[in-house]
Structure 1
């Protein structure tokens, strides 16, 4: 049966406890049923404090896989959420390793499915602008990395265009900066990136492309209002990948229980 307690582990693959705390604060804002139990894990100090490039992704993968294998920690949970906004190898490694009993996703993958599900359906022949979604992220490295990742996740060929995906706009900050630079600088950088993403219209959903952005939804919302006007701007949805991942894992675990042969 799909009922019963569901235990979810949110894996922060960097070694920043401040970032994990930010995720925990965001999770508290989700109206979860009492049967959903959420726990967090922070990578050991050998992992980067901020994952900013391909090297950081790989180091964090190696460190976390080794640490979790030694601890046997994952045997306690029904679902695992990899909380790094990237095409993170941990998602695939853990999904393959525990394919017979553990639901696994990442905040990147969960945000794509959530954003696309929130877009209004296209009306054929209406002549109206196709509603789109996009990502606001940290450094310039992520623009190509995430753009390519979205296409590959959706099964598109390289170089093909997705009419529903506006693209990726970077703030120039690192993930760690969201906890260490001034709130005013974060606000200015995030507003600038959001304005570039929104353009002159058509974006109805913005994804926060960094776990360190947890709690900054209001900056994006107010930027949407200033860019699109009160009515259109107020309707722009802002997706937190950690929250999206928790909700999606709840559904994945219940679906696995309901549709399995056991």
Structure 2
């Protein structure tokens, strides 16, 4: 009997660019809750691996300096080890305009150039896809927005959204409700802060975002928020009422990124001339 190999698994590396193993563990728990062995992946299985930044990466990425430090440390570590040659795609699990997305996109993986995105970019695309409305709909447009950690990220992420969507700061984006911060750090979600404080600050920031109009999609603007969807859901119900609040989409960027990379790798294999 002769057998012919037709497909191979897609291998995705989910990359935590900080040095916190506990934060990587939170990302892993979010991935385990995705139900990857569903109908969408029967034709082509997906293997997902995680990576934590080396010790010289910051333990928590809280500002622009931390972003650059983590980018340099991780890039040196990965390119020096040859690790990336084992993978088809990489997800940068830091909710920022992270330089690693662009830097790693030029490198080669297991089958040609790596497919790379960040949880920031994937969350934008997921939100916009969920808010698509019929062209003749005359109701006010529904919106999406971001709940994040420290004040620094409000301007950083707003500018990042404008750049990603090709708009300038003077333009009015009817679909983007903006960014609200909790005053916490990414590390606070994994120890050091009373859970009741985290809960209240996250609820308060979510309600400020929801008060900006018909916000139907809330993005968790930090990988460290993985698993805290119920706090945001409760805030939405308190703000909008049970019926409307229970329908709000809550986007986990890691889940959005894994799903996007799976489909992008399949599209690349199907449509790219070889």
Range class of TM-score, shorter chain: over 0.9
Q: Which runs of 5+ in 1 are unaligned?
A: none
Q: 1:204-234 CA deviation, whole Å, 9 max, x = no partner? A: 0000000000000010011101100111111
Pair 1:241-2:253 in alignment: yes
The aligned counterpart of 1:169 is 180
Pair 1:142-2:146 in alignment: no
Distance 1:125 1:41, change over 3 A: closer
The aligned counterpart of 2:208 is 196
**Counterpart Cα distance in 2 of 1:230 and 1:123:** 28
Distance 1:2 1:142, change over 3 A: farther
| Residue 159 of structure 1: how far off its partner (Å) | 2.4
| Residue 261 of structure 1: how far off its partner (Å) | 1.1
Distance 1:2 1:216, change over 3 A: farther
The aligned counterpart of 1:78 is 88
SS in 2 for 1:160: coil
Aligned length, in residue pairs? 261
SS in 1 for 2:113: coil
SS in 2 for 1:49: coil
**Counterpart Cα distance in 2 of 1:94 and 1:245:** 15
| Residue 50 of structure 1: how far off its partner (Å) | 0.3
What is the TM-score when the length of structure 1 is the normalising length?
A: 0.96
The aligned counterpart of 1:24 is 28
| Residue 120 of structure 1: how far off its partner (Å) | 3.8
SS in 2 for 1:223: helix
SS in 1 for 2:180: strand
CA RMSD of aligned residues (A): 1.6
Q: 1:93 aligns with which of 94, 103, 112?
A: 103
Q: 1:10 aligns with which of 7, 14, 17?
A: 14
Preserved contact between residue 200 and residue 228 of structure 1 (Cα < 8 Å): no
Report the structure number with the largest CA radius of gyration: 2
SS in 2 for 1:254: helix
Preserved contact between residue 2 and residue 254 of structure 1 (Cα < 8 Å): no
The aligned counterpart of 1:159 is 170
**Farther-moved stretch of structure 1 (96-105 vs 72-81):** 96-105
SS in 1 for 2:34: coil
Distance 1:191 1:7, change over 3 A: same
The aligned counterpart of 1:121 is 133
What is the TM-score when the length of structure 2 is the normalising length?
A: 0.92
**Farther-moved stretch of structure 1 (89-98 vs 45-54):** 89-98
| Residue 160 of structure 1: how far off its partner (Å) | 1.5
**Counterpart Cα distance in 2 of 1:124 and 1:156:** 24
